[in-house]
Amino acid sequence: MFLLTIFVGTLIYNLAAFPFSQESRYKIYFQQTVDLDTGVSRVHYVGLREYVEKIVADLPSATGKELTCDPTSSSRAGLYNCSYDGSAVPPNVVKTMPPGIPPQNGYDSWLSYNITHNEGENKARFEVNGEETRSCAIVFQKPISTFEIKGGNGPDERFGGIPDKGLDKIKLYRRDWGTPWVVDVEWEQSGDGDSGIDGRVVCSWDDANTPGTIPAFDEGLQYSPPWVAVTKLSTGLCEGSKAFKA
């Protein structure tokens, strides 16, 4: 009876007690995205919906903002991506504007690209450069069949090569801060005869060592409960992108 009493008491405690603490924290994923064409910014928190909503409710920049929550992709099954308008906390990862000028006034200069594509051909050359970052990507609406990076290598067969269905994203990394990427891509012509291609050029920034660089992330660290650990969702804490069509 004594052991049974201990078992029942322990079971009730384990079922009723809050599952996280400062010593055993819950990991929540953060990212701020910026459409560099329009200036639209979103702050994203990804995790179990009930905990994400608790955390976002305490953030000053989320006060009065609509929180949109959608299930994530299969790679993070069971988690929700909850986001709200981030215009009140614009990132300042690229110092293009003088002090006192809103950083969003310089969004257009964060990344640049040029596309060379002859009409009727199923190939194009991309020249991409991001300011103060070593990491960018090209995301395609329809898959490409092959690519080659100038000064680098094409698909590495050690990783299985390009799948039969093609690639919808190329991640780019450089060792310096200023050399543009030059990428040649080819794709299969669609059934409707369209030889064009469209998508987005994306760059990522991670530096949050200086307060005010990514204010939304600073806010998450400051106002999150002690039982929460905030970490980055993917390659960058901040991600800026521009649309392309060629």
Q: Same domain, yes or no, for 33 and 117?
A: no
Q: Is residue 174 part of a domain?
A: yes
How many other β-carbons are positioned within 10 Å of the β-carbon of residue 10? 10
Say what the pLDDT of residue 155 is.
58
Name the residue with tokens 């609406």.
141
Say what the pLDDT of residue 13 is.
47
- Residue 135 phi, psi (nearest 5): -130, 120
Owning domain of residue 152: 109-203
Q: Is residue 79 part of a domain?
A: yes
Q: Same domain, yes or no, for 52 and 88?
A: yes
Rounded-to-integer distance, Cα 49 and Cα 94, Å: 32
Q: Same domain, yes or no, for 151 and 185?
A: yes
Say what the pLDDT of residue 171 is.
93
Q: Same domain, yes or no, for 150 and 72?
A: no
Total number of domains constituting the chain: 2
Q: Same domain, yes or no, for 190 and 211?
A: no
Name the residue with tokens 């910026």.
34
Say what the pLDDT of residue 65 is.
95
Q: Is residue 57 part of a domain?
A: yes
Q: Is residue 85 part of a domain?
A: yes
Tens-digit pLDDT string for the chain (246 aa):
767 666 655 655 455 556 677 788 999 999 999 999 999 999 999 999 999 999 999 999 999 999 999 998 756 778 999 999 999 999 999 987 777 788 888 999 999 999 999 888 899 999 999 999 999 999 999 999 999 999 865 555 665 677 888 899 999 999 999 999 999 999 987 766 677 899 999 999 998 888 899 999 999 999 999 999 999 998 899 999 999 998
Q: Is residue 67 part of a domain?
A: yes
